[in-house]
Structure 1
Amino acid sequence: MTFSAVRGAKTLTLLLLVSSVAACGLPRSGPHKREIFAGSFEKQGDAFVVPVNRFVSRVTAVTPAFGFNSNFRSADLIGSDVIAAGDTLGITVFENVRDDPLLGNSGQRVSSLDQVQVDGQGYIYVPYAGRIRAAGQTPDGLRQAITRKLDTQTPDPQVSVQRLAGDGSSVTVSGAVGSQGVFPIERPTRTLSAMLARAGGTSVPVETAIVRVTRNGNTSQIWLQDLYDNPALDIALRPGDVIVIEEDDRSFVALGATGHQTRIQFETQNVSAIEALAQVGGLNTQLADPKGVFVLRDEPAEIANSLLGRTDLVGDQRMVYVLDLTRPTGLFEARDFMIRDGDTVYVTEAPFVQWQKTLSAITGATSAANQASNVGN
């Protein structure tokens, strides 16, 4: 075989290999920037592509609004010694007779009634005094009521009433706390923060902890950090309150030329685009195009109409927000633009990366052609 024929065979083999690589497509982490723009609404696509600026950051900055309603905030502290249905009482009666006491045996002047349960209607039963209303009274008020009932049957009885921790004035605490359970409302634990401390505090970071309180079928919630920062949110508790501590489950997904491609849970109430990139190790310096940082989101029609100056959009709209970190204000825009639950943060590869991959493919194809030629020779 002549030299020209060998050279022609090598060239043909190279062209076939390069054509094969081009047909299959070069490996990459996702779409190019131009491909994303090609899917825009302006080019007959189904997504609106919007460059990020101050106006966009302000309109899209939506944070979950938590707070207790007026029914929770207006409740006053309950008296720590007010008796409620379900409470347990300890009652002691001292009689001024020795030979024939009303309640005790002969010679027994002190009679103790331990673990007296207040029934569902709020009453207790005391021998010789009968059924007495206890719920809503203080121990001293109940003591006087029992004394009046017994005074006609035994001379000058001395009565003491002690409210024990019971099921009547109690709340349920569950979720991400140190100790879950049913806890009585006592003098030191009449407010939300005090009861959480009684339950051992939260077992998740304060910055991402949500406190949910249910009372009489109504539920309100706040950030735990807001509770600590604002004493006005430290509501008074009521019997039967259900308190649940949960960790914020909002998250976003990072893809493309970032340090890590993964799902990231929010670590604070608000996460900016620059913080989101930092959480995944920033941009991959070998691959990333700092002009091609995208945030993909389904935006409510109200926000989409405001951004686009329209009024006709209905339902959620696909939005693609573009951040160019090379602009003089690019990093400021990334700092001000807030990430929301369910967002996808995608970073495209730099154009030169594709050139490198193409050259690598051609180089590899040439080497393969040479090897094939050598084998043939």
Structure 2
Amino acid sequence: MKITKKTVGPLAISLSLALSSCTGLPSSGPSASAISSASSERAAPYVLIPVTATTLSLMSTADPEKLSATFGSGRQQSASLIGIGDIVMVSIWEASDNGLFSNGTGGKSGGTQIPEQPVGTDGMISVPYAGQVRAAGRTPRQVKLDIEKALTRMAVEPQVLVHVSKNVANTVTVTGEVAQSGLVSLSPRASRLLDVIALAGGPRSESQALAVQVTRGSRSQTIALEKLISDPRENIFVQPNDIVALIRQPRSFTVFGAAMANSSVQFDEPELYLNQALAKVGGLSDERADAKGVFIYRTEQASAVARIAPGRTYAGAGPFVNVIYQIDLKDPNGFFLLKSFRVQNRDLIYIANSSLAEIRKFSTLVSTTAAPVAQAAAIGSVVNNLATK
């Protein structure tokens, strides 16, 4: 085919169409302006929250990973109370050799020991000549006094000892990544969370990858083991029937966009801050990154969002809300915010491309599109010259 000015014309038109469609350039994600404009829509699927010092202060008070906030930091229920299923042993002494329970050796005898028995579902135990005695929900001393009172008219100055030989009701179930799963009896002095983990033999793997899940009734909360160790306030008192599970839970965050590396990164630190997280992937790309567009994607509890951003509306309803936090590094204070913004497990960090990067990308497209056109025009000129000779 002979290339002439007529064939070059349509190519020029195609080039102009390519120039007018620069907004359709391939990109690693939305621009900062696109995220901001979408968040202002009435039915936006997420809440955009600019990060400020005030925001960070509110976020710290609404930290979802707080056992003390979920279960309280008060002391445990008394572990000295007898419960249903506990194995109880009753021993009885008398002051006379000829008493109801004496064995002919007087007060120096070892007394009469009633065989061990479990506390029934009705909360009662059975004692000869005293009948049914309520034990559940009472201390051994209270049960002792009741038995002595019941035997006063039949025995000679009876002295009673009540002992819980096997504690079943006042126990905590400890399972998961511990040396020995099972029931751990609570002591009357009150047991804390780390106490029962230690009584179960402690963790059987590195603590950096473990989380502790506490379940009490219908409530459940999980915290990183290292955070539990480092923060004494989270070492709460356990309660009877609690379930404590050590779970292998490697934590990670993901980085996309104009960073030096796009990847998923695992971390062991009990508290990882955003400046440290960005350093793990080499930081922002100087050539591509929009310093105003550092975004953290996260799903938050609706109650936390109401506290952090009161009055904000979002699409859908339920206990959780999609949130995008934005940090502006054009503001000199932004770097202080990086040092205070805590990264959570499964966070997605997105660095938007700058408009200058889009211009560079468009320039590359122009050059790669225009070069064949210019080359074709040059070839056409040479062919025309040869044809006229």
TM over 0.5: yes
Which SS does the other structure have where 1:164 is aligned? strand
171-180 or 201-210, larger mean C-alpha shift: 201-210
How does 1:12-161 map onto structure 2 within 5 Å? 15=12, 18=15, 25-33=24-32, 35-36=34-35, 39=38, 41=40, 53-54=52-53, 57-58=56-57, 63-64=62-63, 66=66, 68=68, 73-75=73-75, 78=78, 80=80, 82-90=81-89, 114-127=115-128, 130-135=131-136
Q: Give the match for residue 173 of structure 2.
A: 172
Distance (Å, rounded) in 2 between the aligned partners of 1:153 and 1:320: 77
| Change in 2 beyond 3 A, CA 1:33/1:165 | same
CA distance 1:45–1:32, change in 2 (3 Å): farther
Shift in alpha-carbon separation, 1:103–1:287, aligned structure 2, 3 A: farther
* 1:88-126 C-alpha deviation (Å, 9 max, x unpaired): 13456799999xx9899xxxx997655421212332224
Percent identical pairs in the alignment equals 28
Contact 2:209 2:248 in 1 (8 A): no
How many angstroms apart in 2 are the aligned matches of 1:49 and 1:156?
Answer: 78
1:292 and 1:348 in contact (8 A); partners too: yes
3-state SS of 2:368 partner: helix
Matched letter for residue 166 of structure 2: A
Gaps of 5+ in 1: 306-310
Kindly state the Cα deviation for residue 59 of structure 1 after the two structures are TM-superposed. 5.9
Tell me the distance in 2 between the aligned counterparts of 1:155 and 1:188.
35
- Secondary structure of the residue aligned to 1:190 is coil
Report how many residues are paired: 356
Distance, in Å, in 1 between the alignment partners of 2:322 and 2:191 is 48
Determine the structure 1 residue equivalent to 2:214: 212
Query: For residues 225-255 of structure 1, what are the alpha-carbon distances to aligned partners after superposition, in whole Å with 9 as ceiling and x for unaligned?
Result: 6765665765555433444566899986543
Partner of residue 308, structure 1: none
Distance (Å, rounded) in 2 between the aligned partners of 1:210 and 1:358? 53
**Does 146-155 or 113-122 show the bigger shift?**
146-155
1:1-377 equivalence runs, <5 A: 6=3, 8=5, 11=8, 15=12, 18=15, 25-33=24-32, 35-36=34-35, 39=38, 41=40, 53-54=52-53, 57-58=56-57, 63-64=62-63, 66=66, 68=68, 73-75=73-75, 78=78, 80=80, 82-90=81-89, 114-127=115-128, 130-135=131-136, 162-174=163-175, 179-186=180-187, 190-201=191-202, 205=207, 209=211, 212=214, 214=216, 219=219, 228=229, 236-243=237-244, 254-261=255-262, 272-284=273-285, 287-295=288-296, 300=305, 303-304=308-309, 314=313, 322-337=326-341, 345-350=349-354, 351-352=356-357, 354-356=359-361, 358-359=363-364, 362-363=367-368, 366=371
Could you report, residue by residue, the CA deviation over 1:166-195 in whole angstroms, capped at 9, with x for unpaired residues? 323223335665544332224577344322
Q: Secondary structure at the match of 1:30?
A: coil
Aligned to 2:386: none
Structure 2 distance, partners of 1:141, 1:51, is 61
Displacement after TM superposition at 1:29 (Å):
0.8
Equivalent residue letter for 1:294: F
Would the aligned equivalents of 1:295 and 1:321 in 2 still touch at CA under 8 Å?
yes
**CA distance change for structure 1 residues 26 and 15 in 2, over 3 Å: closer, same or farther?**
farther
Alpha-carbon distance between aligned partners in 2 of 1:233 and 1:319, rounded to the nearest angstrom = 26
Q: TM-score, normalised by structure 2?
A: 0.60
> In structure 2, what is the Cα distance between the partners aligned to 1:91 and 1:48?
64
8 Å Cα contact 1:88/1:118 also seen in 2: yes
2:169 aligned counterpart, secondary structure? coil
For 2:242 and 2:35, the matched residues in 1 are separated by 51
Note if contact 1:256-1:349 (Cα within 8 Å) is conserved in structure 2.
yes
Which stretches in structure 2 are left out of the alignment for 5+ residues?
A: 104-109, 316-320, 384-389
Distance 1:58 1:147 in 2: 60
Q: Deviations over 1:21-70 (max 9, x none)?
A: 6659433212344545665749x996997765545655666632645479
Q: Secondary structure at 1:283's aligned position in 2?
A: coil
